[in-house]
Amino acid sequence: MKERSGIEVKNVWKAFGKEQVLKDVSFSIPPGSIYGVVGNNGSGKTVLMKCICGFMKCDRGMVLVDGRQVGKEVDFPDSLGVIIETPGFISNISGYKNLKILASLKGRIGKREIRDALSRVGLSPDLKKPVAKYSLGMRQRLGIAQAIMEDPGVLVLDEPFNGLDQQGVLEIRALLKELKADGKAILLASHNAQDIEELCDHVKDLMEK
């Protein structure tokens, strides 16, 4: 198995027209650590995460995930689990069936891993309710289950606590600490300062010049 090396962001710039969103951003996230990214709305947190995932191309600089350059050596890193913005699911089937369909695209995992991922985020694998009837918090839990179900070495999580009640926040914080202990490299964006303070080993403020 290829040795994990986490995320490396090297001198990344990204503009939309005349608006410079990312300005010479650099940091690295080794395995077994959580790195927080903060900044006001519009500061570029989601743009940065999309560049790391290969959903957007940076104008200058480079991103490496486990030593492979995103957009050049790999379009979407195999070792990456991601939740960016509101997760989209098929609304008229259950959460388990949604994950089963997603898992079939790569064929890496089976029923046991899907059930385990759902249980880890606090959802019953046997729940028959269609996703259309899920609460916002349940949808968010399902999105996190999707991100972790294939046991990725790197996680990019944009506002993973959105829609969760206080108990849900505590449960997902505990899960992220477990994933860190398992050796995952985790990039986390949260508007809640307490999430960042409690979970993150290092913090990057995109508003800092």
Convert the pLDDT of each residue in 7-35 to its tens digit.
Answer: 999 999 999 999 999 999 999 999 999 99
pLDDT of residue 3: 63
- The H or E element that residue 198 is part of is helix 193-199
What one-character DSSP code corresponds to residue 3?
P
Say if CB 184 and CB 31 are below 8 A apart.
yes
pLDDT of residue 173: 96
pLDDT of residue 71: 92
Tokens of 114: 């899907």
pLDDT, tens digit (0-9, with 9 covering 90-100), for 48-57: 999 999 999 9
Span 115-137, mean pLDDT? 96
Percent of the chain with pLDDT over 70: 97
- In this structure, what is the dihedral angle of CA atoms 191, 4, 63, 35, given to the nearest 10 degrees? 20
Q: Which of 93, 100, 91 is nearest to 118 (CA)?
A: 100
pLDDT of residue 30: 96
Distance of alpha carbon 113 from the chain centroid: 18
pLDDT of residue 193: 87
pLDDT, tens digit (0-9, with 9 covering 90-100), for 86-122: 678 999 999 999 999 999 988 889 999 999 999 999 9
What one-character DSSP code corresponds to residue 165?
-
Tokens of 149: 């179900």
* Domain covering 1-79+154-162+181-209, topology: Rossmann fold (3.40.50)
- In the block, tokens 């403020």 appear at 205
pLDDT of residue 5: 79
pLDDT of residue 132: 95
Dmax over CA atoms of the chain, in Å, equals 50
Number of Cβ within a 10 Å radius of residue 82: 23
| Mean pLDDT, rounded, of the chain | 92
Tokens of 61: 């600089």
Give one DSSP letter per residue of 170-194, joined into a string.
HHHHHHHHHHHHTT-EEEEE-S-HH
∠ CA 99-101-103 to the nearest 5 degrees? Answer: 65
Distance CA 141, CA 135 (A): 10
With 0-12 / 13-18 / 19 or more C-beta atoms within 10 angstroms meaning exposed / middle / buried, residue 149 is buried
